[in-house]
Structure 1
Amino acid sequence: MDWLYDYISENTFWTILLLIHGLISVALLGALTHQSMAVLIPVKRLRVDDSFVTHFRAVTAQKYTKAICYLWICSFIFGAWIYAQYRIYVRIPIEQQELYKTLGVFEMKEHLVVFGLGMLPIYSYVWKHMKNIEYDLARKCITLFLTGVCWYAFLIGHIVNNVRGYGS
């Protein structure tokens, strides 16, 4: 990667990676939230004069599945790439400040995101077999779990970033 640092600084490189990771994560968050709303409170009939929330829920939830899987994997890859920098430049100073709860919630984030990654094949399978009524509960539970993990990871990532301070 030394050749790249001839064109941009190392700090700029990691900033770009963090921004890409964040943008992918926001797209994932939006897709999962739309799908979850459609699963939790499905819209029977959509009218033009219905509220914004009704239109927000009135999506074809199945169409989001493939995008969610790809976004989760891409976000995971970028997060894993950034993780090496986090372990050295962020985690150690947070440990020195004795902010163990902050570290703990980030550790939990790591575990939940990996667990979510492992659930993607099951998630994809139950959404692929949409007509099978036996999968309705599994589809709802897995989708809500992944949505919860995504929101948790997103918020905790921001908290840890704010604790350490961006670029410090």
Structure 2
Amino acid sequence: MKPAVRRPDSAVWEMAAEGLREVAEHAESLGVIIGLEPVNRYETYLINTAEQALKLVKMIGADNVGIHLDTYHMNIEEKSFSDAVRTAGDKLIHIHLCENDRGIPGTGLVDWEDLFSALGEIQYRGNAALESFVDITDNMNTWVWRQLAKDGDTLVSEGTSFIRSMQRKYRLA
């Protein structure tokens, strides 16, 4: 498939909304909520920011469609973690928490104070997941070619400890 060489136009946005509207209708009949995740420019040209995700959520117009933010992609595409969270607002239903290098949260460049202060401000009560990597697997294209943590157990224990401390600090737990 040839990559896009221009920004998506209104026809692309409408086609995406129409297709996802059908998906949302079927998902609703099964009790499933859909989270649209903005990802970085190297993975898609349609939804890279919370603002774009909110635009598509509004175009779809289904109550079971929300926004799923990911700090890895936000670190590349957003100007501000807090502005992205505020933009998503009550449509934010899930968040992936990882460091800029996919390592242990709290050990890199992500502005965790900015992120968690905004999550506290909107009184976020949705789901969150630690999404980091330490191993090379055959089923993903997100390989990491250096050791980001001693091992998986260390990544999980230190990462969740840091995240829980931030949740407590901003009254999210």
Greater percentage in helix = 1
Superposed pair shares fold, TM > 0.5: no
Q: If each structure's strand is expressed as a fraction of its own residues, which one has the higher value?
A: 2
Range into which the TM-score falls when normalised by the shorter chain = under 0.3
Q: Which has the larger radius of gyration?
A: 1
Taking structure 1 as the reference length, what is the TM-score of the superposition? 0.26
